[in-house]
A and B are shown apart, each in its own frame.
Chain A
Amino acid sequence: NAGVMQNPRHLVRRRGQEARLRCSPMKGHSHVYWYRQLPEEGLKFMVYLQKENIIDESGMPKERFSAEFPKEGPSILRIQQVVRGDSAAYFCASSPRAMNTEAFFGQGTRLTVV
């Protein structure tokens, strides 16, 4: 049973480009969570999704950021028109049901905006 898979592991984008981060949850997990870790800071919640539904996006910046978890395929975190301040490590986690069970984290995607 493969763990949570994130790709790419490292992503470099120029300012103004789009960044797409992918997260494939563990088999049987229908809940996905995205977190951002800014340099020298802890993990910050961004968005919580179930299949085809956004449950809580209170941690997402209002502009340029979007997330989806389609019926088929990985969850995608999309950042449009990236700026230097978007440089961070983005982690996703998955769980089989709501958050009273263990969440399993991926290895993260390190985004660098140049």
Chain B
Amino acid sequence: ILNVEQSPQSLHVQEGDSTNFTCSFPSSNFYALHWYRWETAKSPEALFVMTLNGDEKKKGRISATLNTKEGYSYLYIKGSQPEDSATYLCAFSSTTSGTYKYIFGTGTRLKVLA
């Protein structure tokens, strides 16, 4: 059974704090790891797609790393702002015999307090 786990489930930080979340996924049949940001009442918005072990991606104050051998990815937010408040989802895609599976974690809910 393919399972994607995210931790922590929720997080409150003060404005200006830096924070990070973890996404754990199966290390076999890896295809890609995706991070999404999901604000309330909106649809998930893609942040990063990573495919290679050791990948690091950055977008503004947000960055992500990938370790496919041990099956984890970290998302970092530097200097959190109230507008960063959202649920951060990771999704793991794998391929077996040409069939793709795309499994989401349940997300980390971030609340940044002003």
A interface with B by C-beta (< 8 Å): 4, 33, 35, 41-45, 48, 55-56, 58, 91, 93, 98-108
Contact = CB atoms under 8 A, between A and B. Distances in A.
Contact of A42 (B95, B101, B106): B106
B44 A99 contact: no
A63 B60 CA distance: 45
A51 to B, nearest CB: 15
A100 B99 contact: no
Given A48-B102, A99-B31, A99-B100, A105 B43 contact: yes
Contact of A91 (B43, B46, B93, B105): B43
B92 to A, nearest CB: 10
13 contacts: A35-B104, A42-B89, A43-B44, A55-B99, A91-B43, A98-B31, A98-B100, A99-B32, A99-B34, A100-B51, A102-B49, A103-B34, A107-B42
A39 to B, nearest CB: 13
Contacts of A42: 89, 104-107
B102 A102 contact: no
B70 interface: no
Contact of A43 (B95, B100, B104): B104
B32 to A, nearest CB: 4
A104 B42 contact: no
Give me the 9 closest cross-chain CB pairs, A-B, nearest first.
A42-B106, A105-B43, A102-B46, A99-B93, A100-B32, A43-B104, A105-B44, A107-B43, A99-B102
Nearest to A93: B44
Contact of B49 (A93, A100, A107): A100
